Amino acid sequence: MQQLNQTETTASTYAIKLDIFEGPLDLLLHLIQQNEMDITEVSISAITDQYLEYINLMEMLDLDLASEFVVMAATLLQLKSQSILPTVHPKASENQQFKDRQELVKHLLEYKQFKEAGQILDQYADQKCLTYSRPEAVSGQREYEISATLFDLMSAFESVTVRSNNQDYEDDYYEEIQEDPITVEMQMEFVQRMLIDNDTLRFTELFSEFSSKTEKIATFLAILELVRLKEITTVQSEHLAEIYLQRQVA
């Protein structure tokens, strides 16, 4: 995952609380599905490194991390050390959530079952609110079935920043001559204006290839804040599919 410099977030001191989003087990499941891993065969070493990359990205974006994410990070590091040195069995620390890999896998499987069951119940209970149609202009009709998670959004944002690697020089120059700072509030208004004329927007449409890194970060934080305020929803046809934004239905 591409690293973002801490200085790139200085234009926005807007801390987004993650209360409405998912917890550390959701992040682990997201990483496992993203890498098409079998939960029972998951590589602790690989999943730990990727988990820490996401934690680092969330910290750089000034997201308000819950303590559970830090506890899980410590647990994964402990389990990783056990996998690297299998003959050494250090005593589990007080902050370690799971004593070994088998216990982590067991909890992940149970959590996955409960989460999937909950999603099915939500669809039955509120089918109309969870089904959206893509406008004709986007390419016919298509129904959305699931909400995009925080980690789906972060993966999409990371892809946007990776594609802009070749624009680094232009971005730096743009930021040097920029007179007015880009703020999260400004980008929230921008997203809302875009949704006035468009019932549905692709996530990537909000990130121009000529946008500065600061603007991209502010736009991403604006999307999270609008989701938190329940002014927009983020949806996709299936997990890891393209993400769309839509105004929240009252």
Instruction: Give residue-wise pLDDT tens across range 144-171.
Output: 457 888 888 988 898 888 766 545 544 4
Q: Can you read off the two tokens belonging to residue 79?
A: 């389990």
Query: Measuring CA to CA, which residue among 145, 120, 147 is closest to residue 132?
Result: 145
The pLDDT tens digits for 189-230 are 999 999 988 888 999 989 876 678 888 899 999 999 999 888
**Cβ contacts of 49-57, under 8 Å, gap ≥ 24:** 50/1, 51/24, 51/27, 51/76, 52/76, 53/1, 54/1, 54/27, 54/151, 54/154, 56/3, 57/1, 57/4, 57/154, 57/158
Tokens 């299936």 appear where? Answer: 238
- Residue numbers of the chain with a pLDDT score lower than 50: 2-12, 130, 132-142, 144, 166, 169-177
Instruction: State residue 237's pLDDT score.
Output: 79
pLDDT value, residue 123: 66
How high is the pLDDT of residue 82? 80
pLDDT at 28: 92
Assess contact for 158 and 57: CB atoms under 8 A: yes
Lookup: tokens for 108: 């992940």
| Domain coordinates in residue numbering, the chain | 10-125, 132-250
Cβ(71)–Cβ(93) under 8 Å? no
pLDDT value for 167: 52
222 by Cβ neighbours in 10 Å (0-12 / 13-18 / 19+) ranks as buried
pLDDT for the residue 170: 47
